[in-house]
Amino acid sequence: MLRDFAVVFDGRTVALGKNTGAKFLSFLQMLILAGDQGASREEIIDSLFAGEDLANITNSLNNLVYQSRRQLQRSALPEDTGIRKEKNRYFFSSSLPVVTDVRLFNEAARDAHDEDGLKAAFSLYHGDLLPSVTGNAGITELRNALRKDYKAVVAGLSAILIKKRDPAGLTALYNEAMQTTISEDGDLEAGLISALLDAGDAHAALKHYNKALRRYQSQGIGSIPDRLEACAPRLLAVGAAEQGSSLKTQLLDVMATANEKTAEWDGAFYCNYPSFIDAVKLQRRNLPRDPRPVTLMLLTLVDYEGKPLRMERKQILYSGELQDAIRGALRIGDSFTRHDETGFLILLPGADEENAVAIYSRIARKLKEKAGSNAAVRYRMLSLNSLDQDQL
């Protein structure tokens, strides 16, 4: 499940349908990942049916279980392989042991207490968990947890290589890590830049610093990550020490652009509905020139049972809490507006579906901090990139 999804039995890859994006595959993946703990009905609904019509969810879940069982029966897996339900929890069931690369990595990372152990764990992480799966909050959360564990392994190996004074080894380590996973907070880029400086290649270090800044700016982030910014003083010192070099001048130019003061524009932009629709249309028309992903999301308040809020008093109270949560969770460059009494529309330039799910998770957490268990939020999303020219 790391990087690519495949089921292997008796030395052969088993086909589980031709549509790799089918919901039943996400369901099976959830159950396999859950192992002996299984997945509850609520976890499955939250992960696979968020944003769908609540009245049809029970039928949808039953159909999903039926389809999944049929697909397993049609596959080349043993006949007793299937799905078991016990007390509103669902389990992937087989008489044979089920081994996942996720479990192997987890066990290796847990037992990695020396260089050999860290290297073993590092080699078992082939890529992020099911990167093609989007819109599944449960898998997104586990993907982020595994990514964090992998980076802890990288940090452990880095400390060993620093102690050995092996900048070439550090450079190779971080280059491989950056090809394997993504660096949200600049930690991998910062490690690579420091390794290059240790190796005496200041110009390559600046090149990577500049490249990292452009990446973060293209994502609409207001300021560069602290870990990356902490590299600047050392780069400046190296640039000042190089007589006749333009390194320091180049770096100062880069930092001036990256650290432009925009305090008066901090926070997401709240606008009225007509202005928001105009902004969406403008983003849509811009796509041929700027093909970065643009996601439109609808957030709707529900009660603790997942039903729409009906009482006017609760609508007023919790929609205010949701608006604050949205503003606190969005990035600079995002915009939002009120859709109805309990809903908000959000425009996320530069965000694909995985980024949008992560943003939704932040909003849901912030709302829970404010409203407790009395209110929750559901989402629906649409990629503007997937629309035809005459749509919208």
What are the sequence ranges of the domains in the chain? 7-93, 101-262, 269-386
pLDDT at res. 287: 82
d(CA 294, CA 280): 9
Neighbours of 382 (CB within 10 A): 17
- Answering whether pTM is above 0.85, one says no
pLDDT at res. 263: 37
DSSP states along 313-330: HHHHHHHHHHHHHHHHHS
pLDDT at res. 115: 95
And the tokens for 324? Answer: 């604050």
User: For residues 84 and 22, is the Cβ–Cβ distance under 8 A?
Assistant: no
Q: Which residues contact 345 (CB under 8 A, 6 or more apart)?
A: 273, 276, 296, 297, 298, 299, 336, 337, 338, 339
User: For residues 375 and 244, is the Cβ–Cβ distance under 8 A?
Assistant: no
Adjacent-strand bridge partners of 231: none
pLDDT at res. 257: 47
Average pLDDT per 10 consecutive residues for the chain, totaling 392 residues: 91 77 83 92 84 75 90 89 92 92 96 95 96 81 93 94 89 93 86 86 82 68 69 72 50 50 53 80 82 88 82 79 86 82 87 88 89 85 72 51
Quote the CATH superfamily of domain 269-386: Reverse transcriptase/Diguanylate cyclase domain (3.30.70.270)
How is domain 7-93 classified at the architecture level of CATH? Orthogonal Bundle (1.10)
d(CA 197, CA 180): 22
CA dihedral sign of residues 266, 267, 269, 270: negative
Q: Where are the beta strands (DSSP E) in 275-375?
A: 294-302, 335-340, 343-349
And the tokens for 200? Answer: 């005496």
Closest residue by Cα to residue 115 from 44, 181, 163, 68: 163
Class of the CATH domain delimited by 101-262: mainly alpha
